[in-house]
A and B are shown apart, each in its own frame.
Chain A
Amino acid sequence: MIKRLASGPYLFWLIMFIIVPLLMVFGYSIVQTDSSGNLSVSFSNFARAFDPIYITVLGRSLKIALEATAICLLMGYPMAMILAKMNVKYRTFAVMMFVVPMWMNFLLRTYAWMTILGKNGVLNGILSFFGLPQVQFLYSEGAVLLGMVYNFLPFMVLPIYTVLMKMDSSLIEAAEDLGGNKVTVFSKVILPLSIPGVLSGVSMVFMPAVSTFVISNLLYGGQYMLIGNLIEQQYLVVNDWNFGSAVAMILMALILISMAVMNKVGGDNPEDRGTGLW
């Protein structure tokens, strides 16, 4: 009984504030207003979204978000392991230190990178101190990637850390006792058991990365259109909510599909995941 009651408010919230509003957006996406203001059901918004120009935008967004996720995973996993194995005296402090930068404003954190990467920024200052030529760091794809990794890294580290922390250390000891070397213990025991955390981390990094528009605007100077910029432009600049909704729906569908794939890959047999995309 209590088990059902516990999720009651949650169910209400899901329906009221997630499902109903999304149905409204879906409604927008399949409606077209003609010049005299008449509404009609139409798929022209979707047809327009499959124009090669917009397909390019989508491909670019997916590519950079995948890169950011991969880098976060490569950087974040070892960090999560170090944190999980850290002496209890320092661990809480270290984990908190990981969260603190997130308490600073997102726009500010991105803006700070502009002062570091800029033509006369800190990094170029260091270069010229050593007599090296200036480099155009800012307004490049690399800068956008860096901004994504910087902003989303803690979202990768924290879930993995949470799972690693709860891992039964006797399993690892048993594996070691049975003669497994460090690599085997890691690949056969630790990694498979940490998959739930990795999946949480991956979704927490990939999703904001694929939909961001602030980072690309600030660090690539608005020349670089990602899917988020496209949707933002439709909603804020042209006020074409119908087309914007259609693009949003397509993005949603793509993401739901990758989610389903992830669930399938992650859910069945964790040990066979070596060749998985993630």
Chain B
Amino acid sequence: MVGKWLKRLYTILMFGFLYAPIAVLAIFSFNDSKSTAKWGGFTFDWYKSLFQNDLIMRSLYYTILVAIIASAISTLIGTFAAFGLYYMKPLKQKVLLNVNSLPILNPDIVTGISLMTLFVALNIKLGLITMILAHVTFCIPYVVLSVLPKFKQMPSEMLEAAMDLGATPWYAFRKVIYPEIKPGIITGALIAFTLSIDDFVISFFNTGSGVSNLSIAIYSMARRGIKPEINALSTLMFITVLILLLILNKRTKIEEI
């Protein structure tokens, strides 16, 4: 019984730790003062000026666009990659996994610079396309790392058994393997999406010509002090994500029943 309460307390503390900074941002988004340390009364002004800020709105659009496209592509490639990797000879698998880890282990800045060197050498104009390519590159390894442990936990003969029983490889993948690895795919896609939304350094080197994401916009604006509009933006983002999550949670429950 004590253990149960200890667990609850620990969970509450952890969520408190995770959400305290977000709560602070949310509170200060209603602050009628430019400062992030003084309370100057309640206001909605920052929300109004947020929607009138062309740079922020455009960056927001590109951030979401890139995150969705990049996480979709990388989840697809990464899942099949994990499938291929699992059935590979151990040595080859090991080599590939080490290459796979490079973008994770490398400082973002090296990945960013190296990709930029490549794009410049290939004479691809830096912009939306290069940003998406760069994001897919750093997302795939995380998807692979999330999905591969699922394969490893799966009984190794499952695919063979299904195919012996007459299933086509694609059918076997869909009906036998996919359900086993689904949690890994979802984790991988979520990590890819959050990484993409969060990225600053790699995007910074691999975009240009008027395409910038939110991080770059914030960084540029921060030169003259972060503006409360951005607090307002993160509050709105948080609420959106929370609503999405509630819907998702409800759907999952229905499926489980």
Contact across chains for B234 and A150 when beta carbons are under 8 A apart = no
Contact A13 B77 (CB under 8 A): yes
Q: Cβ of A120 and Cβ of B105 under 8 Å apart? A: no
A22 to B98 CA separation, bound complex (whole angstroms):
14
In the assembled complex, the Cα of A200 lies from the Cα of B96 at a distance in Å of 16
B181-228 contacts to A (CB < 8 Å)? 183-184, 187, 190-191, 193-194, 197-201, 214-215, 218-219, 222, 226
Taking a contact as CB atoms closer than 8 A, the residue among B100, B110, B137 that contacts A252 in the complex is B110
Provide the residues of chain B in CB contact with A99, threshold 8 Å: 190, 194
Provide the residues of chain B in CB contact with A5, threshold 8 Å.
Answer: 84
A89 to B137, CA, bound (A): 35
Within 8 A of B (CB), among A97-122: 97-109, 111-116, 118, 120-122
Q: Which residues of A contact B150 (CB under 8 A)?
A: 162, 166
State whether B98 touches A113 (Cβ < 8 A): no
Report A-chain residues with C-beta under 8 Å of the C-beta of B18.
97-98, 101, 150, 153-154
Contact A158 B153, beta carbon cutoff 8 Å? no
Assess whether A69 is interfacial by the CB under 8 Å rule. no
- CB atoms of B105 and A22 under 8 A apart: no
Residue with the greatest number of chain B CB neighbours at <10 A, chosen from A1, A3, A121, A227: A3
Known: A1-B169, A18-B99, A118-B37. A7 touches B83 (CB 8 A): yes
Whether B226 pairs with A111 at a CB distance below 8 angstroms is yes
Which of B7, B83, B114, B248 gathers the greatest number of chain A CB atoms within 10 Å? B114
Which of A17, A104, A227 lies in contact with B237, CB distance below 8 A? Answer: A104
Residue among A25, A120, A197 facing the most chain B CB atoms (10 A cut-off): A25
A151 vs chain B, min Cβ distance (A): 9
Minimal beta-carbon separation of B107 from chain A (angstroms): 3
Asked if A243 CB lies within 8 Å of chain B CBs, one says no
In the bound complex, do residue A21 and residue B117 qualify as a contact, i.e. CB atoms below 8 Å apart?
A: yes
Q: Does A163 contact B (CB under 8 A)?
A: yes
Residues from chain B with Cβ under 8 Å of A100 in the complex: 238, 241-242, 245
A25–B113 contact, CB under 8 A? yes
B110 and A231 contact, CB distance less than 8 A: yes
Smallest CB-CB separation from A78: which chain B residue?
B10
Does B72 have its Cβ within 8 Å of any Cβ on chain A? no
B249 at the interface (CB under 8 A from A): yes
B52 within 8 A of A: no
Per-residue contact bits, chain A 239-278, to B (CB 8 Å; 1 contact, 0 not) = 0010011001001100110010001000000000000000
16 residue pairs bridging A and B, Cβ less than 8 Å apart: A17-B115, A96-B245, A97-B15, A100-B241, A103-B194, A104-B238, A109-B21, A113-B21, A116-B20, A150-B21, A158-B146, A196-B152, A210-B107, A214-B201, A252-B110, A255-B105
